[in-house]
Chains A and B, each alone.
Chain A
Amino acid sequence: MTREVAVIGIGMTKWGELWEKSLRDIAVEAALKCLDDAGVDKVDAITIGCMSSGLFNAQEHLAGVIPDYLGQHFVPAIRVESACASGGLAVKTAYMEVASGLADSALAIGVEKMTDVDGGEATFALASAADQDNEAFHGVSFPGLYAMMAHAHMHQYGTTLEQLAQVSVKNHYNGSMNPHAQFPYKVTLEQVMNSTKVADPMRILHCSPITDGSAAVLLVPVEVAKKMKKPYAVIIGIGHASDTIALCQRKSLCQLPAVETAGQRALKMAGKTIRDIDFAEVHDCFTIAEIMVMEALGVVEPGQGGPATMKGLTALDGDFPINPSGGLKSKGHPVGATGVAQIVESVSQLRGEAGQRQIKNARTALTQNMGGSGASSIVHILEAR
């Protein structure tokens, strides 16, 4: 019925505040790097993950803009949106194109160009991923939503500010070795815990930044990948789930059921358990998010995310490394690009090309991308071949 699908090419550029470059520039740069990596110059289909080029750049219709400027004339393109999970959704959509036989190659591009507006407008644009009528209306920001989850988690499980800060310390350490990262430097526990408050208890060094960036991956059938004489990774599992748009309508304020469901679905499809996974790239838009995601995926029991992080479980040399790329925290979070960049990092690790931050014997990777305060999530599982 469906075909096995492989990632044969990856591309990513340096992320940051790229004032000299436009949305189409950064998307095309990442896509070209991906095509060059695969040794391909023409694709059958393009999928584009972008949350809000309308609010950030007053430019919709990326399904027209991107193929045009990429020189892929007449190639069909689909732009998909699921807030900060738009990138993961673009990869899933490309997978569907190839697995179904509709296309023999599909290029998934994630992109967000966020610095064409000022900070207040960017905060407003991001808040449109929340419930506009019932959350954004009251003046809550995205850091504010995750801050409320953090307070609830601290109240219910005794999670500490120090444990939350350690997520940032770990991810910045990993990111210090990533040449693509927006903030490739280390931070100390004290720096995180004394940084400027954004939405209590979230301080600036608990939050992912505003970033311009893009990433791209090329998907082909495994049968085609085999003939290309290059290392590739097979997408062996995909899980995708939704949940209430408003945080306050969840059964629990300190759990992420969409992540849990997406994770279980992906593991089931792959025929794996979480213990079979060698490392994960997860959606640490805020430090509390990484803690809650590792609990939702079953890496640890609910409430154990903080203590496990302090003990080094998720460090680069730990038993279950999380965010070797530096995560959203250090690498940056151009929202629509993040889910694709997670696949780029995973494939880079699986190919053994991650340089100083290479995880030894990495064979199986999990990526988890999340929209809003957890109203959508997509999990991919990849295996080296």
Chain B
Amino acid sequence: MGQHVARHWRETPERYRLEAGKCKKCGSIQFPGRLVCPDCGAREFETIRLSGKGELATYTIIRVAPMGFADMAPYAVGIVKLDEGIHVMGQVTDCNPEELKIGDRVTTQFRRINEEGKTGMIVYGYKFVPDLGL
């Protein structure tokens, strides 16, 4: 289903640059940023950029995909525990999904997420790529 351009545009800081909010009171990191810290209730944050590096906490292989993703299936989606200690969800790409396992090291790359129909906008964001230690 097509979504208005502004809906994607306003998410650009976290999707393109992994910008997160670090609570000025308790130091907890929120990704994406929020107005209220869920840990201490404070309302002031400093903008930081996440490393994008971490390890796979869990994953799945999507074989029956939602609308807009059918042509990519099967594809892997995972939750990654970043080195900063927070968990982030995204697709895991450039790998054989069958060989993934919990604990695998990954890095984050800027990728195309999908297209909104034949003439719609191309939507970008981050995906995880297994770290081959190269």
Residues of A that sit less than 8 Å from B by CB:
119-121, 123-124, 127, 133-141, 143-144, 147-149, 151-152, 155, 196-202, 244, 246-249, 253
Q: Are A155 and B58 in contact (CB under 8 A)?
A: yes
Residue of B nearest to A244 (CB): B38
A148 and B58 in contact, given A138-B125, A143-B64 (Cβ under 8 angstroms): yes
Would you call the interface of chain A mostly helix, strand, loop, or mixed?
helix
Q: What is the CA–CA distance of A155 and B57 in the complex, to the nearest angstrom?
A: 10
Minimum distance in angstroms from B55 CB to a CB of chain A: 12
Contacts of B59 in A (CB 8 A): 148, 151
Interface centre among B62, B70, B75, B78 (most CB of A within 10 A): B62
Which single member of A124, A127, A138 contacts B89 (CB below 8 Å)? A138
Q: Mark B98-130, 1 if CB is under 8 A from A, else 0.
A: 000010000000000110000000000100000
Contacts of B1 in A (CB 8 A): 124
Minimum distance in angstroms from A321 CB to a CB of chain B: 30
A248 and B11 in contact, given A137-B113, A138-B113, A148-B60 (Cβ under 8 angstroms): no
A sample of 24 cross-chain residue pairs with beta-carbon separation below 8 angstroms, ordered by A number, consists of A120-B66, A120-B67, A123-B66, A123-B67, A124-B1, A133-B32, A134-B89, A135-B89, A138-B125, A139-B65, A139-B68, A139-B69, A139-B77, A140-B60, A140-B62, A140-B89, A141-B62, A141-B65, A143-B64, A148-B60, A151-B102, A198-B64, A199-B60, A253-B87
Q: Are A248 and B89 in contact (CB under 8 A)?
A: yes
Contacts of B49 in A (CB 8 A): none
Contacts of A201 in B (CB 8 A): 60
Interface centre among A119, A152, A249 (most CB of B within 10 A): A249
Residue of B nearest to A117 (CB): B67
Q: Are A249 and B64 in contact (CB under 8 A)?
A: no
Q: What is the CA–CA distance of A198 and B58 in the complex, to the nearest angstrom?
A: 16
Q: Mark B69-83, 1 if CB is under 8 A from A, else 0.
A: 110100101110000
Q: Are A141 and B78 in contact (CB under 8 A)?
A: no
Q: Are A253 and B72 in contact (CB under 8 A)?
A: no
Q: What is the CA–CA distance of A144 and B89 in the complex, to the nearest angstrom?
A: 12
Which single member of B60, B65, B67 contacts A200 (CB below 8 Å)? B60
Q: What is the CA–CA distance of A334 and B102 in the complex, to the nearest angstrom?
A: 33
Q: Are B60 and A144 in contact (CB under 8 A)?
A: yes
Which single member of B62, B87, B91, B97 contacts A248 (CB below 8 Å)? B87
Minimum distance in angstroms from A66 CB to a CB of chain B: 26
A247 and B89 in contact, given A133-B32, A138-B113, A148-B58 (Cβ under 8 angstroms): yes
Contacts of B65 in A (CB 8 A): 120, 123, 139, 141
Residue of A nearest to B97 (CB): A200
Is the CB of B61 closer than 8 A to any CB of chain A? yes
Q: What is the CA–CA distance of A178 and B59 in the complex, to the nearest angstrom?
A: 35
Is the CB of B18 closer than 8 A to any CB of chain A? no
Residue total for B at the interface (Cβ-Cβ under 8 A): 33
Minimum distance in angstroms from A256 CB to a CB of chain B: 15
Minimum distance in angstroms from B124 CB to a CB of chain A: 11
Q: Are B88 and A248 in contact (CB under 8 A)?
A: yes
Q: Are B125 and A144 in contact (CB under 8 A)?
A: no
Q: What is the CA–CA distance of A141 and B60 in the complex, to the nearest angstrom?
A: 10
Q: Are A149 and B58 in contact (CB under 8 A)?
A: yes
Q: What is the CA–CA distance of A31 and B32 in the complex, to the nearest angstrom?
A: 43
A139 and B62 in contact, given A120-B67, A148-B77 (Cβ under 8 angstroms): yes
Minimum distance in angstroms from B62 CB to a CB of chain A: 5
Contacts of B66 in A (CB 8 A): 120, 123-124, 127, 136, 139-141
Contacts of B113 in A (CB 8 A): 137-139
Is the CB of B63 closer than 8 A to any CB of chain A? yes
Q: A140-B66, A199-B62 are in contact. List 17 more A-B contacts (CB 8 A).
A: A123-B65, A124-B67, A134-B32, A136-B66, A137-B125, A138-B113, A139-B68, A139-B91, A148-B58, A148-B59, A148-B77, A152-B58, A196-B63, A200-B61, A244-B38, A249-B87, A253-B58
Contacts of B88 in A (CB 8 A): 248
Q: Are A151 and B89 in contact (CB under 8 A)?
A: no
Minimum distance in angstroms from A176 CB to a CB of chain B: 26
Contacts of B70 in A (CB 8 A): 120
Q: What is the CA–CA distance of A152 and B78 in the complex, to the nearest angstrom?
A: 11
Q: What is the CA–CA distance of A337 and B113 in the complex, to the nearest angstrom?
A: 34
Q: What is the CA–CA distance of A309 and B59 in the complex, to the nearest angstrom?
A: 24
Interface hits, B1-30 → A, CB 8 Å? 1, 11
A144 and B58 in contact, given A124-B67, A134-B89, A139-B75 (Cβ under 8 angstroms): no
